[in-house]
Amino acid sequence: MPDTFGGIFDVAKKKDAIAAAEVKMADASFWDDTDAAQKLTGEVSRLKRLVERMEVLQTEVDDVKTMAELAAEEEGEDAEMAATETEQLTSKLQEKIDRLELQSFLSGPHDSKNAILSVHSGAGGTESCDWADMLFRMYTRWAERSGFDVEIQDLQAGEEAGISKVTMRIAGDNAYGFAKAERGVHRLVRISPFDSNKRRHTSFCSVDVIAEIDDDIDLEIRDDELRIDTYRASGKGGQHVNKTDSAVRLTHLPTGIVVACQNERSQLKNKGTAMKILKSRIFEQKEDEKRSEMEKFYGEKGEIAWGNQIRNYVFQPYQMVKDLRTGQETSNVQEVMDGALDPFVHAWLRAGGPIGRASVNTADLES
């Protein structure tokens, strides 16, 4: 199948790719390799949706042109009505073009894949665990707003409140391409609800995002490189308490990467999911090592504490959310915490993503 990365506006090229794929799909032996067949049919579906959006957009462009010509020909009240309608159509069209343009920035080889997003509490104790819980809710809301499906893979409660860690799978077109903008340390400033003296506290959490890599990637993990631990999954009370050691924790000894999964009742299914996440994390780390010519994701993420944050969330004494990589900011903190992250994600993509981040210095992070 021809390479479909980049060239998002080339409808003819995408139609050629779809036609070539459909020829393969018509072959009697196509489903002999189920995994490869499902991958190809999924890619064809994605391309068809993109082509359909482009064709609808072209129709709307033609409609605006027709309305603009009509406004130029009319006189008096009719001309004003036509001009007003043209302006409204143009505004809506611009929004759609902007959204489509964003997809042209998703040219990475894994941007179209699902994302595995993890939130880890950092410096701040109970405060940080509560902040991790707030971020977990924020990302769940953002994913739902974006039309993505969310599945919790692992969740570890904090000792007193909130959560110490959560790993979630975000599934949908370009989920990783958009979610990877959130990778880094997030800093919260607020008056603590846990402090009887109502003092201002600063909390930190780290967000990690990796692409969900296909099982057929060239990455071998030997049995002697793994430590496998099983334990009883945490959950709600009553009939939902897991009475067997179905949760699985995998430790990759050469890298020290640890992955856990407890969302399935079956230990075998949890192990399979954990192994897939582990492969994705190892693959991402290897990719990071190759990117020595620019600031690495893992290096940038750094310690989960002061001076390494990518974004500040200030609740008191004023309200402001500011991204320190792009300068994007808003005073509507509640809307952001309800999942309105697109302005920050889009600004990061337009700024060049990881390449744009390389210019961030310590002074910027501490401002």
Length of the chain: 367
Residue 324, classed as helix, strand or coil, is coil
Note the pLDDT of residue 215: 61
Residue pLDDT, tens place only, 23-50: 999 998 989 888 788 888 888 887 888 7
Burial class from Cβ neighbours inside 10 Å (0-12, 13-18, 19+) for residue 348 reads buried
> In terms of C-beta density within 10 A (0-12 exposed, 13-18 middle, 19 or more buried), how is residue 295 classed?
middle
CB 255 within 8 A of CB 289: no
**pLDDT at residue 218, rounded to an integer:** 66
CATH 1.20.58: does it fit domain 11-103?
A: yes
Give the residues of the chain that fall short of pLDDT 50: 1-7, 236-241, 292-300, 355-367
Distance CA 210, CA 284 (A): 7
Fold of 115-215+292-365: Alpha-Beta Plaits (3.30.70)
pLDDT number for residue 167:
93
pLDDT of residue 357: 39
CATH number for 223-275: choose from 3.40.50.2300, 3.30.160.20, 2.40.50.100, 2.40.50.180: 3.30.160.20
Euclidean distance between CA atoms 283 and 255, whole angstroms: 11
Compute the distance between CA of residue 66 and CA of residue 205 in angstroms, rounded to an integer.
52
| CATH 3.30.70.1660 location in the chain | 115-215+292-365
Asked whether the beta carbons of 320 and 335 are under 8 A apart, the reply is: no
What is the DSSP annotation of 152-191? EEEEEE-SSSSEEEEEEEEESTTHHHHHGGG-EEEEEEEE
Tell me the per-residue pLDDT of 174-194, one tens digit each, with 9 for 90 and over: 899 999 999 999 999 999 888
pLDDT at 176: 94
pTM of the model: 0.67
Q: Distance between CA 11 and CA 54 in Å, rounded?
A: 7
Q: Which amino acid is at 164?
A: S
Distance CA 322, CA 312 (A): 5
